[in-house]
């Protein structure tokens, strides 16, 4: 069953630095998604703390632990502490330069956008995805350089996440129906 949904997408500082805003938007439009809101934002810490709340720390830490174990690597850190480090790096990175925030609309939009962008880690994101095509970053490289992973875009992971994230980045009057 299909349903019309909305989702949030951010073109992160590395995507902006590589001048990929138009390319990224075009990729979504090519797949039939409708742009219903867009703006360029220099995100401040208050906004970023709402988008990447401390409550995400354990989930991020557990996700990282699972990724390490899947690759046969040892993970000895406390997942919550590690997750907080990741959140701080994400906030610093996303706040380091302007980002393009947009809301896309269409049938099964959350899943469709996630498919178009690929997995979080560009080197394993999937052939032809935005992240794999425009970045060659990896968790290992980011960890060794003590920074956030550079993967071009953020996209909401679930419908519920999308609803919450859209409210963080956009006022109702900034969302268009057409």
Domains in the chain, CATH or no CATH each: 4-42+97-174 (3.30.70.141)
- Active-site residue set: 154
Q: How many CB atoms lie within 10 A of CB 16?
A: 18
Q: What is the pLDDT of residues 115-151, one digit of tens each?
A: 999 999 999 999 999 999 999 999 889 989 999 999 9
pLDDT band at residue 2 using 50, 70 and 90 as cut-offs: low
- Give the mean pLDDT of the chain: 95
Angle at 27 between CA 156 and CA 147, to 5 degrees: 50
């Amino acid at each position: 069953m299909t349903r019309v949904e909305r989702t949030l997408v951010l073109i992160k500082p590395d995507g902006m630095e590589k001048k990929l805003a138009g390319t990224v938007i075009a990729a979504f439009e090519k797949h039939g998604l409708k742009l219903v809101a867009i703006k360029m934002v220099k995100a401040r810490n208050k906004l970023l703390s709402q988008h990447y709340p401390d409550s995400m720390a354990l989930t991020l830490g557990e996700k990282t632990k699972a990724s390490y174990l899947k690759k046969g690597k040892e993970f000895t850190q406390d997942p919550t502490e590690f997750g907080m480090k990741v959140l701080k790096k994400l906030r610093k990175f996303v706040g380091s330069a302007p980002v393009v925030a947009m809301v896309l609309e269409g049938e099964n939009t959350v899943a469709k956008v996630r498919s178009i962008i690929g997995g979080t880690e560009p080197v394993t994101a999937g052939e032809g995805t935005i992240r794999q095509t425009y970045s060659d970053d990896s968790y290992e490289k980011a960890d060794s350089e003590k920074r956030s992973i550079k993967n071009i875009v953020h996209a909401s992971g679930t419908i519920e996440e999308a609803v919450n994230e859209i409210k963080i980045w956009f006022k109702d009057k900034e969302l268009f129906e057409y």
